[in-house]
Structure 1
């Protein structure tokens, strides 16, 4: 019988690491800005490109639709996002920053980058580059495996 050693099972280790990082960032964002990780992920995606629909955010974030919907509703309720009707399809809503949302994004983004830099000080530059290349390869492999199954 092949026993599964969770401490050596890479999917498990990656999940634990991701949850620990999210928990630490969530604590910081909640204390300082009153938002949780899903809200920050929506804002980070919109910080790169907007306007976007909720479906666009689901696709880019790999979060489930309900979580994105709750995060968007929270951000709209806080006055950080606006919803506008898509000019080409009245059924779609486009999300954009309000002035307060843009301000919040511009305050959080540097702190997120600063935290990441501090966290990664344990890695040498070549180790970090290698890690990023490995992540790219593993993501591509997932894409390839998904395409084979389809």
Structure 2
């Protein structure tokens, strides 16, 4: 934490972005060629695999992806037959999203792959370091929640 010049390579937001991009990219190589889906599509599938019936806006909120990216991912998954839209019974303007049977199969194949990738990645940390990292991530997320979408 410095008040001196911005040194990008030491700037926390930049460093976090780099590591998450590298991790997401490495994991996506496992499923991109096999299933023809990219990172945004996988994030939609992962969210719907755990929380069926979300709206596109709810997926955007849960995944911290912008609405346009989610909309494109949903459209691509629909074209590939991995996702189905169902009109919300209470609000016909909304669509609820669910994985199709094929989408559920893809989720069932990729989820263990992703968990295995995570297990392997975490071998770089001791259990204590992982617990500390988990707490730190929670603290940073709570701090960001406190900003309420406003710039600090």
Specify if TM > 0.5.
yes
Instruction: Report whether the alignment pairs 1:122 with 2:124.
Output: yes
Q: CA deviation at 1:44?
A: 0.5
Query: CA RMSD, aligned part only?
Result: 1.7
In structure 2, the residue matched to 1:62 is 64
Where has structure 1 moved over 3 Å in runs of 4 or more? 147-150
Match of 1:16 in 2: 18
Q: 1:147 to 1:95 in 2, by over 3 A?
A: closer
What are the equivalent positions in structure 2 for 1:1-150 lying under 5 Å apart? 2-146=4-148
Number of aligned pairs? 150
Q: What's the secondary structure of 1:75's corresponding residue?
A: helix
Q: Which moved more, 1:139-148 or 1:19-28?
A: 139-148
Instruction: Give 1:145 shift.
Output: 2.7
After TM superposition, the score normalised by the length of structure 1 is 0.94
Between the aligned partners of 2:151 and 2:75, the Cα distance in structure 1 is 35
Unaligned runs of 5+ in 2: none
